[in-house]
Amino acid sequence: MRVLSSTIQTARKHYPCDACHTFLQSNYGRDNVSADDWLVIEGAQADRWKITPGSKYRKTVLKDGDDILTVRNRLDVESVCKRNDLFDEC
């Protein structure tokens, strides 16, 4: 995979959060992350795992063979995933 662009955007509508999906797929729970990280996860859950209008998020566009993929991550959940090594390397 090759990164074509990575920018910080302000959401104008609701988007699914790919970092939230990564966290949920990891099966991590309260015992696996710090108390501060757990507060971030609870906040994301309260937002129904979505990027909400007006919030900042990272939009990354990737090229995988002939496919173009767009990944959208809440910045707070992305930080939790990075601190806990939950992202696959591209």
CB 55 within 8 A of CB 74: yes
Position 89 scores a pLDDT of 62
Q: What tokens appear for 16 in the block? A: 């699914």
Asked if residue 89 is part of any domain, the answer here is: no
pTM for the model stands at 0.91
Q: What is the pLDDT along the chain (90 residues), one digit of tens a residue?
A: 899 999 999 999 999 999 999 999 999 999 999 999 999 999 999 999 999 999 999 999 999 999 999 999 999 999 999 999 999 864
Number of domains in the chain: 1
E strand segments, the chain: 2-10, 15-16, 50-51, 56-64, 67-74
Position 37 scores a pLDDT of 98
Position 90 scores a pLDDT of 46
Asked if residue 90 is part of any domain, the answer here is: no
Query: What residue numbers bound the domain in which 76 lies?
Result: 2-83
